[in-house]
Structure 1
Amino acid sequence: MHPFLQRQGLDYTIYVIEQHGEEQSFCQGFLYNVGFTEALKDDPSYDCFIFHDVDLLPEDDRNLYTCARSPYHLSVAIDKFDYKLPYVALFGGVSALNTSHYRLLNGYSNLYCGWGAEDDDMARRLYKHVLAISRPEPDIARYKMLSHKSREPREANPDRHYLLHTALHRAKTDGLADLQTANYSVTSVTHKALYTHILVNITKRKPIKHVHPRKIGKRNTN
């Protein structure tokens, strides 16, 4: 990544956010929120964040790692998907958000642990705030996905459909707003030569209580 970013003449820092602790399922959105918060402690002047799956590598230097006026989805064409966008609302893989937009959106949801739907939850937050997704041309925004053959199959989040169905009801409270009460701790922040490594201890998540959407926020009239 460094030669790619240096050829673009960018002033940047790479942060690698790693999870450990009691929670065995990967909590991607949670880690993005922690990374955003810790990075701003390093340098409050950061005005653009690229949220990047670790297994994606850009193929074209013209794919500029900058923020646009609207949320910017960079990984348009991935080899795994025959270099085609799977669906128009996709905002996962590699995405760019300026700092003010990320705060407006309350970051990602903290509740998605296990594979699936945290990026679709973010897309719904964008829709809620009338923020359209912009993209570079697909012949530029091409990515290679690294092989996962040596890894165990990813565990799907059994609550992902329910969480996505209720996403907009939680958008104001689930994210940066409740991060400090989300039972995690930063074990270490290590400034290495090529990147900053942040190790995050996440305690076991409580089971998601499924509540019918019509009952959310309903007043007791008795």
Structure 2
Amino acid sequence: ERFTADGNTLNLVPLCKGPTLPCRLHMVCFLVVLFYSKDGTFFVFTMPYRMANGNNTYSQLIKELVPLETKTQNASLGETRMPPNTSKTLGPCPDTPPNLLGPLHVEFNSNRTLDYVRKEVGSILQEGGRYKPPDCIAQQKVAIIVAFRNRHEHLKHWLYYLHPILVRQQLDYRVYIINQDGEGVFNRAKLMNTGYVEALKEYDYECFVFSDIDLVPMNDRNLYRCFDNPRHLAVAMDKFNFHLPYNGYFGGVSSLSKDQYLKINGFPNSFWGWGGEDDDIYNRILNRGMSISRPDSVTGKYRMIKHERDLHNEPNPNNPGKLSQTRWTMDKDGINSLKYSVKDIVRDRLYTFITVDIEAPSITW
């Protein structure tokens, strides 16, 4: 039989001749196999053809199976077949991190350099001293805030020990070094307030750990996270023969959740020079009906990097007298009265270094 279309001649080869029942069955089976595959995909069977120019050379006999886009025959799915989802949903990190070591040997090698620290501990960090666990969701998002000026010798030791500890503790964290610009009177508490504000510009932190640059923990079970009450972490320094100097001491290293911090209106901005601000923070916590939590004296051990008193951070004789006024001053002296300006931000592999002008006065006492 010959079928002509657009000048081409297509020869169809009959499968069988005659109206017999076997012939009809043969045709039906052929059509089913030809047009329908077992997975629900239709195909076209291409036959050889002869060009109109009379060339009797036929192309090689080819069977092409051309899939046509179809939806699945199962109407209940209502969509095309998709590959299975192989992504894994991360679960929360355990409350007790599994890789903690406990007591640590801490020494301050004078040959240690910042480049060495960067090489040793920086490979798993993101820019800005940032880390988050790759295999679970951290219990808390923590900003580590350090008040700083002219302490680069201490910084390398602190970073060398703290980053591995914080990584083992499975924290979602970043280290902020808040550097006071200029040579005016140092103000630790105001720098901590500044670090709180600057950190929240970058991430929705839930917890804030405020640390001196010269204190290194000697036990990684001392968790740098927040608790139901404000937490005093540095409870047993070698400087004090590994004892708490007095019950109301809140110095060195502490942690407060965002809610706890706002409840006390942050730290006081009015304590210029050395001394008094830690006690004022302690008073603020008690005045807001909270209590202090602490690790035990074994877990809370710290080594202090020995140093001379900083220039323009001398003891201020006016600070102790302010402590009796905390109840009345805390609502107007704190995060709601903070003033500063950012001079520079440097994002190193090991830290985010923010230099700020906090309008420091010259010494007047």
TM-score, normalised to structure 2, is 0.53
Separation in 2, partners of 1:205, 1:166 = 22
State the match for 1:15 in structure 2: 176
State the match for 2:280 in structure 1: 121
> Is 1:194 aligned with 2:362?
no
Alpha-carbon shift at residue 153 of structure 1 (Å): 8.6
Task: Output the amino acid matched with 1:5.
Answer: L
> Is 1:28 aligned with 2:188?
yes
| Contact kept in structure 2, 1:21 and 1:202, CA below 8 Å | no
Separation in 2, partners of 1:200, 1:167 = 26
Alpha-carbon shift at residue 166 of structure 1 (Å): 1.5
Separation in 2, partners of 1:63, 1:46 = 20
- The SS at the match of 1:190 is strand
State the match for 1:203 in structure 2: 359
| Contact kept in structure 1, 2:185 and 2:312, CA below 8 Å | no
Indicate how the Cα distance of structure 1 residues 205 and 149 shifts in structure 2: closer, same or farther if over 3 A, else same. closer
Matched ranges for 1:1-222 at <5 A? 1-21=162-182, 24-43=184-203, 45-149=204-308, 154-179=313-338, 182=339, 184-205=340-361
| Contact kept in structure 2, 1:58 and 1:143, CA below 8 Å | yes
Alpha-carbon shift at residue 194 of structure 1 (Å): 1.1
For these two proteins, the number of residue pairs brought into alignment is 203
Q: Which has the higher contact order (CA 8 A, sep 6+)?
A: 1
Indicate how the Cα distance of structure 1 residues 133 and 168 shifts in structure 2: closer, same or farther if over 3 A, else same. same
- The SS at the match of 1:88 is coil
Alpha-carbon shift at residue 152 of structure 1 (Å): 5.1
Separation in 2, partners of 1:150, 1:128 = 32
Q: Deviations over 1:148-189 (max 9, x none)?
A: 04855941112102221222211101011111xx3x211112
**Structure 2, unaligned stretches of length 5 or more?**
1-161
Separation in 1, partners of 2:267, 2:312 = 24
| Contact kept in structure 1, 2:236 and 2:243, CA below 8 Å | yes
Separation in 2, partners of 1:91, 1:32 = 14
- The SS at the match of 1:127 is helix
| Contact kept in structure 1, 2:185 and 2:362, CA below 8 Å | no
> Identity of paired residues, percent?
43
Indicate how the Cα distance of structure 1 residues 152 and 207 shifts in structure 2: closer, same or farther if over 3 A, else same. closer
| Contact kept in structure 1, 2:185 and 2:361, CA below 8 Å | no
Separation in 1, partners of 2:228, 2:195 = 22
TM-score, normalised to structure 1, is 0.86
Indicate the larger mover: 138-147 or 194-203.
194-203
Alpha-carbon shift at residue 121 of structure 1 (Å): 0.3
| Contact kept in structure 2, 1:21 and 1:203, CA below 8 Å | no
Separation in 2, partners of 1:117, 1:137 = 24
Bigger Cα Rg: 2
State the match for 2:43 in structure 1: none
Task: Output the amino acid matched with 2:220.
Answer: D
| Contact kept in structure 1, 2:275 and 2:316, CA below 8 Å | yes
Indicate how the Cα distance of structure 1 residues 151 and 107 shifts in structure 2: closer, same or farther if over 3 A, else same. closer
| Contact kept in structure 1, 2:312 and 2:363, CA below 8 Å | no
Q: Deviations over 1:98-125 (max 9, x none)?
A: 0111011100000011000001000010
Q: Deviations over 1:22-42 (max 9, x none)?
A: 6x2110110000000000001
